[in-house]
Amino acid sequence: MSPMKYTRQLYFLLLLLFINGINIQAQTLDVSDKIKLIPNLPDLKVGDQLPDFIIPKIIRSSREQANTADFKDQLLIIDFWSIYCTGCIEALPKMDSLQKQFGNQLKILPVTFEAKELVENFWKKNKYIQNLSLPSVVEDQYFSSYFRHKSIPHEVWINKGKVIAITTAQYVDESNIKKVLSGAEINWPVKNDFYKFDATKWPLFMLNEDQVGASSPILQYTAIRGYKEGVNSEGLSGGSGIVRNEKNKTIRTFFLNQSIYSAYSVNWNKLISLKDLIKPVLSATANQFLWEVTDRSRYVYDHKKAYQAEWIRKNGICFESLTPDTGQTDVQIAASVVRDLDRLLGLRVRWEKRKEKVLVLIRTTKEGKLKGKPPVIKGQRFKDEPLSQLIYTINQQEGNPYVFDGTGYKELVDIELNITSWTDIPSIRKELNRYGLDLKEEEREVHKFVFSEVNGGLFIRDQITK
């Protein structure tokens, strides 16, 4: 791997890496209020045939129009996108590479509802995609009417005229394309943006009259289950809420299809302020977690090991509790949810002080090695960054020790690190030395977010009933 150059634009590069590698599905865009549908066209599902129709407006192609029948002998992937969707834009270079790799066997067709002039100008000016060879359908109504959706990216797979899959962008990769082209059977989760279940109106767990005595004025329960299909759109967080019923004097608390990590994080964020903790930066960082569990993959998603849609269906949980309304605050309710999760999942999750070896960024010289003229990178000028952005970047690497800023330097800096990895601490130190900086090891008492299984953990021992 050739060395990467990290400059003052640390935050910008980190953002691109975050979108690219860690959580691409989080970079979705709701376009439900922008799409114009053609009345009376059927909403096609997996197994349906794609009708023949004229595609009226195509840019970046030798033809301004095409017919869907033109693709009847190919694998056609319709990629719904927008110039305002960061996840969509991030995926386009990968789509372009796949198109070149598979040639005439494959046709990847980006489709947007946006105006021709707007898209053309954006494509010309955006350095991330301006050199790609992909065409794009613009001002679309037909595809959006046949394949209705709310969020993008949204991928429709059509093989020899038949709809075989509707997925997130994560599924568009070399392995899956080869599967389809080889004739292998596929059974991927369907990306469905439309669902009728409203958890603010209907309880997640329905009990019949035989289970509850007629004289019972208040039903009180806490329950948990695995992933529930059809109650929310795709993603690692299916939403949550607190419903106060004034008539029955009850409080119903719920969350849908969340990872266990997410369920705890959301509620702990209501219980504690990060600024009150001993940690290097105020925001959450990848190195703040301690996992005292047998199989971490059950609790938190790793994009390197699974498709998100499949992982959340296997490991996501739903939670609901109904209690008498005694005037509890939202903070008190969050504390109750954490206790319930610990009890039901066989876990103990908490912020805890631990004595650990940490690194402290220090100045080794008072010479002015940090500040310089603003660099020009690929014709684009970037503003100076504070040292805190460097600190943040190193702390965002799982496995790195906490890195604190001990320089006291408040001015903006201009630094460039020739390194191959943010986890290679010796290389980082060597590069920092050129600027009169170093990382000194110390032992400090710090806060860590700890996940511990109790007696093996209920979730590990027995799979939650689906």
Q: pLDDT (tens digit, 9 = 90+) per residue, 346-390? A: 999 999 999 999 999 999 988 767 665 444 333 322 247 889 989
The string of DSSP letters for 100-155 reads HHHGGGEEEEEE-SS-HHHHHHHHHH-TTTTT----EE-S--HHHHHS--SEESEE
Any domain includes 147: yes
| pLDDT the model gives residue 16 | 34
Strand pairing of 403-405 and 347-363? parallel
| pLDDT the model gives residue 137 | 98
Same domain, 363 and 331: no
Same domain, 140 and 102: yes
Nearest by Cα to 155 from 116, 98, 220:
98
Same domain, 246 and 105: no
Same domain, 272 and 374: no
Same domain, 80 and 176: yes
Domain ranges, residue 423: 355-449
Any domain includes 156: yes
**Total domains in the fold of the chain:** 3
SS3 label, residue 241: strand
Same domain, 279 and 227: yes
| pLDDT the model gives residue 412 | 87
Q: Which residues pair with 225 in a beta bridge?
A: 318
| pLDDT the model gives residue 216 | 54
Nearest by Cα to 154 from 138, 173, 172:
172
pLDDT tens-digit readout, 125-157:
999 999 999 999 999 999 999 999 999 999 999
| pLDDT the model gives residue 446 | 97
| pLDDT the model gives residue 230 | 81
Same domain, 106 and 75: yes
Same domain, 38 and 172: yes
Q: How many CA atoms lie within 13 A of 266 on its CB side?
A: 19
Q: Which residues of the chain have pLDDT under 70?
A: 1-27, 206-218, 233-238, 368, 370-383, 456-466
Which are the contacts of 70, defined by CB distance < 8 A and separation ≥ 6?
none
pTM of the model: 0.80
Handedness of CA 56, 61, 66, 69 (dihedral sign): negative
| pLDDT the model gives residue 72 | 93
Any domain includes 275: yes
